[in-house]
Every structure is written in C-alpha cells, then in structure tokens.
C-alpha cells in the first residue's frame, strides 16, 4: 500500500497582510504565507481558507502570480466561514490550503481576443486573468471586460477600472440591475450589454464567472445570437466542496468533480455533463 508522506487536509498558516473594503459586505484579503509558501498558482485555481474555530471554505484566488508575496481573495460575507473572516483584522492568522483545481489555459488564449464577463463576486477569479493579460499585453488580442452586479455597491475592484480602461486594446463595460443616483453606466442584464458590445466570434474566447443563471444565459446569448461555439466559452463553476481533493464527493456534476475536473470548463464540457450545473 501507499506510504503516506503528505497530508493535504492540513492547512498552512497565513497572515492577513492587508484587508480592504471592496464593496457592500465584500472585502479583499491579502494573505502572506508564514513559511514563504507556494507562488506557482495559476489563474482560475482556488484555495481553501480556514477561519479557525468555524471551518474552511473554497475561494477562487483573486490575484495573479508575483503579487508581492501575497495571495488575494475577494470575499463576500455570506456564510459562517466568511462571516468569521470578515471579523478578523490585519495581522490575524488564518489557514490556507492550495492551490487546487485546474486553471484557465492562458497560453492557449495568446493571440486571441478575450471577452471577460464577471457577475458580482464572480469577478474575483477573473481578476488574475485580467492581470495576466495586462502584464503581457502584446501577447493577447483585444480585451473586452463586461462587469456586472445587482447594484453598484456590489461591483468589485472599482479602483482598478482606470488601469483597465487605460491599457491598450482594452475596453471595460459596466452594468447594474439597480442603479443608484450616481450611476452613469449601463443599466440592465449583462446579456443585453453583451449583445451590443461583443466582438466577432472569429479568433475569440469568452471567460465567464458569476451566478449559474448568468453563466447559462451568457452562453445562450453567445451561441444562439452571436455565433460563438460552446467550446469558445470558458467558465469557472462554483460548487459546495469540503476537501478540494476529489474525496468528499460533494461537488459532483454527474460523473465530473468540480474540484479536480474543474473548476474551469468549456461550455462544451458542461453541455456533455449528465447533470445540470444550474
């Protein structure tokens, strides 16, 4: 039998280096691993964060590599683990396990036009994609970012929008369902915005993260109205999971496990799954 050399359920310890308010009940946590830690994570991968005494939960890593020795996580307060994380302060210690899961094939994306669609906190795992493209801007084609939320207060990374807008060949489109008095961008669903601004499907890929219903309608719009093929449409799926290692069984979509077969899929893969992700 196999000799056990490693325990993947044991977290490493990390300090909350900085905590920034990102929006309503949303904070950006920068975590510095106490032992130096792994820096070989890739856009689309996730990690489990432990709030000791409560438990742990998976979060998409919200920063690309070389983030000054820290990993960023954009976390909305929703459940017990996120509530505890929101109560912590800078310098407090948390646990971190990862990186886990597959990643966006950034090498394959080179030379292509990219459409990045983020819905609410779903924008978090897309930030490393945007950062990677902006860092090697000439390697990729046009970058079109569609950023959506129910309300302006739920839009994430607002203080980075100017940098995104100013990058060459890069466009940012914002939309919300419920505008406030200061809102001067689009109002309405991300699919309506997408129909108006989407580039031609030739040599393009789309990358979407958001609520399942948004993923469904974005893909439907792309395929049925805009001429995209499902294999051009990349998504990262969220699922309840408790190990990230293909053991706990919780994140199955039919015979696929989101933690080890994903979280990144093309809509072609998703369409072949026996069970719906919705």
Q: Which residues bind other proteins (CB under 8 A)?
A: 1-2, 4, 6-11, 13, 50, 52-57, 78-79, 81-82, 93, 95, 211-212, 238-240, 242-243, 245-250, 252, 254-255, 257, 274-278
**Residue recorded with tokens 């646990």:** 95
Rounded to 10 deg, the angle between the 190-197 and 212-224 helix axes is 30
Q: Which of 83, 268 has the CB closer to other proteins?
A: 83
Other beta carbons within 10 angstroms of residue 14's beta carbon come to 24
Please tell me the distance from the alpha carbon of residue 171 to that of residue 174, in angstroms, as a whole number: 10
Residue 165 class from Cβ within 10 Å (0-12 exposed, 13-18 middle, 19+ buried)?
exposed
Q: Which of 134, 148 has the CB closer to other proteins?
A: 148
Write down the least CB distance from residue 252 to other proteins, Å. 6
Q: Which of 93, 229 has the CB closer to other proteins?
A: 93
Write down the least CB distance from residue 153 to other proteins, Å. 16
The pairing of strands 186-187 and 93-100 is unpaired
Please tell me the distance from the alpha carbon of residue 163 to that of residue 62, in angstroms, as a whole number: 17
Check if the beta carbon of residue 253 is closer than 8 Å to that of residue 237.
Answer: yes
Q: Which of 83, 158 has the CB closer to other proteins?
A: 83
N-to-C CA span, the chain: 40
Please tell me the distance from the alpha carbon of residue 240 to that of residue 103, in angstroms, as a whole number: 18
Write down the least CB distance from residue 182 to other proteins, Å. 26
Write down the least CB distance from residue 248 to other proteins, Å. 5
H or E segment to which residue 117 belongs: strand 113-119
Write down the least CB distance from residue 96 to other proteins, Å. 12
The separation between CA 137 and the C-alpha centre of its own chain, rounded to angstroms, equals 20
Write down the least CB distance from residue 92 to other proteins, Å. 10
Write down the least CB distance from residue 245 to other proteins, Å. 6
Q: Which of 64, 269 has the CB closer to other proteins?
A: 269
Q: Which of 151, 247 has the CB closer to other proteins?
A: 247
H or E segment to which residue 80 belongs: helix 80-87
**CA angle (179 as vertex; 174, 182 as ends), nearest 5:** 90
Q: Which of 223, 273 has the CB closer to other proteins?
A: 273
């Amino acid at each position: 039998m196999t000799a056990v050399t490693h325990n993947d359920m044991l977290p490493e310890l990390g300090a909350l280096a900085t905590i920034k308010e990102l929006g309503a009940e949303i904070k950006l946590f920068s975590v510095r691993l106490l032992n130096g830690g792994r820096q070989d994570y890739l856009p689309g991968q996730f990690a489990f964060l432990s709030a000791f005494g409560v438990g742990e939960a998976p979060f998409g890593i919200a920063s690309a590599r070389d983030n000054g020795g820290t990993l960023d996580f954009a976390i909305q307060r929703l459940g017990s683990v996120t509530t505890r994380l929101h109560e912590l302060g800078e310098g407090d210690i948390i646990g971190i396990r990862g990186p886990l899961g597959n990643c966006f094939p950034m090498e394959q994306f080179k030379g292509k036009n990219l459409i990045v669609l983020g819905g609410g906190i779903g924008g978090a795992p897309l930030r490393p994609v945007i950062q990677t493209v902006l860092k090697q801007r000439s390697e990729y084609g046009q970058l079109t970012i569609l950023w959506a939320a129910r309300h302006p207060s739920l839009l994430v990374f607002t203080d980075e929008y100017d940098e995104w807008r100013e990058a060459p060949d890069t466009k940012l489109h914002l939309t919300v369902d419920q505008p406030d008095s200061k809102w001067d961008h689009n109002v309405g669903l991300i699919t309506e915005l997408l129909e108006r601004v989407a580039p031609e499907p030739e040599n393009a890929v789309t990358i979407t993260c958001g609520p399942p219903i948004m993923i469904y309608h974005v893909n439907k719009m792309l395929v049925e109205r805009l001429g995209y093929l499902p294999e051009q449409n990349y998504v990262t799926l969220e699922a309840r999971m408790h190990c990230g290692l293909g053991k706990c069984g919780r994140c199955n979509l039919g015979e696929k496990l989101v933690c080890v077969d994903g979280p990144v899929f093309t809509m072609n893969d998703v369409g072949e799954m026996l069970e719906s992700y919705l």
